[in-house]
Amino acid sequence: MIAHPVTAHRQTRHLSDGRSEPGSWHWPDRDAVQVYARLFLVIAVLFVAGYGGANWLAGHRESPLRLYLQAELAIPFVPEMIWVYLSINLLFALPLFRLRTQELTLLGRRMIVTTVIAVAFFLLAPTALGFARQPAGSDLASVYQLLYVLDAPYNCAPSLHVAYASQIILALAHRGPYRLRAALALWLLLIMASTVLTHQHHLLDLAGGLLLTASTRLATARRGEGAGGALLRPRRMVSHAAGADR
């Protein structure tokens, strides 16, 4: 008996365990939520302890590094870009609705490695922000006040904000259609712009965040490549860094 083409197509939209096909949007199951919650908890603890501790130490250093050009200090302050800056919180939730449990685990591990490496840089080479923090307008004053309380003007390079955003966006874009990849790329560009226009980072910090994401993805290439496999095949190396299968 030959299955009807429409029925066969519908059946291929689900895996044998009832989960959605790779690369499709879906409601997360309990296993995925539990796995992602555990990984997110580890990342949160590392971030609070590592990032916060390094920020405190940097504030007590006599001469933290200032990795920016004087010309960058002329970049305007655009208070409204804080909403784009904070959109990373929405970005953190989206993997649950697109990635399978195995992919969530890989993303979580990559972000843990990203956090550990970034904190190591913060401790070894503390940096300070070149922008003088200024009050926003009355409508956004409370938002910026909270941001300044939680985030001291240190730990600039590499930008964890950019590293986290690029890790998640590359994972979401994997096997996605062109329109989705284009929309996610635009979102990443806006987030990167927001870190500068809210005077939270400098240009070199952004480059460091992207480099950290690329190197972490290479170091945690999928099984079958091996640590040296991707490095010995440049096209595969680029493929892994871009999050696309060859």
Model confidence at 238, in pLDDT bands (50, 70, 90)? very low
Within 10 A of 233 (CB to CB), how many other CB atoms are there? 14
Q: Which long-range contacts (CB under 8 A, 24 or more apart) does 84-90 make?
A: 84/190, 84/191, 84/193, 84/194, 85/161, 85/191, 85/194, 85/195, 85/198, 85/200, 87/187, 87/190, 87/191, 88/161, 88/164, 88/165, 88/191
Which pLDDT belongs to residue 200? Answer: 95
Model confidence at 10, in pLDDT bands (50, 70, 90)? very low
d(Cα 79, Cα 11) in Å, to the nearest integer? 49
Which pLDDT belongs to residue 138? Answer: 74
Residue 20 near residue 14 (C-beta atoms within 8 A): yes
CA distances from 138 to 18, 79, 80, 153, 195 (A): 50, 11, 12, 22, 21
- % of the chain at pLDDT higher than 90: 60
Model confidence at 23, in pLDDT bands (50, 70, 90)? low
Assess whether the previous peptide bond of 158 is cis (omega < 30° from 0).
yes
Which pLDDT belongs to residue 99? Answer: 94
Residue of 23 and 82 predicted with greater confidence: 82
| Amino acid letter, 92 | F
Which pLDDT belongs to residue 41? Answer: 95
Which tens digits make up the pLDDT trace of 167-216? 999 999 988 899 999 999 999 999 999 999 999 999 999 999 999 999 99
Q: For residue 33, what are the contacts with CB-CB under 8 A and spacing of at least 6?
A: 96
Which tens digits make up the pLDDT trace of 129-177? 999 887 777 789 899 999 998 888 898 999 999 999 999 999 999 888 9
Which pLDDT belongs to residue 22? Answer: 58
With the C-alpha atoms ordered 152, 39, 183, 170, is the resulting torsion angle positive or negative? Answer: positive
Average pLDDT, the chain: 83
Model confidence at 59, in pLDDT bands (50, 70, 90)? confident
Angle between helix 178-197 and 203-219 (nearest 10)? 140
Which pLDDT belongs to residue 201? Answer: 96
Q: What average pLDDT score do residues 5-33 get?
A: 61
- Here the tokens at position 205 are 């910090």
- One DSSP character per residue, 96-127 reads GGT--HHHHHHHHHHHHHHHHHHHHHHHHS-B
Domain boundaries, given as residue ranges, for the chain? 36-242
Within 10 A of 47 (CB to CB), how many other CB atoms are there? 17
- 178, burial (CB in 10 Å: exposed 0-12, middle 13-18, buried 19+): exposed
Which pLDDT belongs to residue 225? Answer: 38
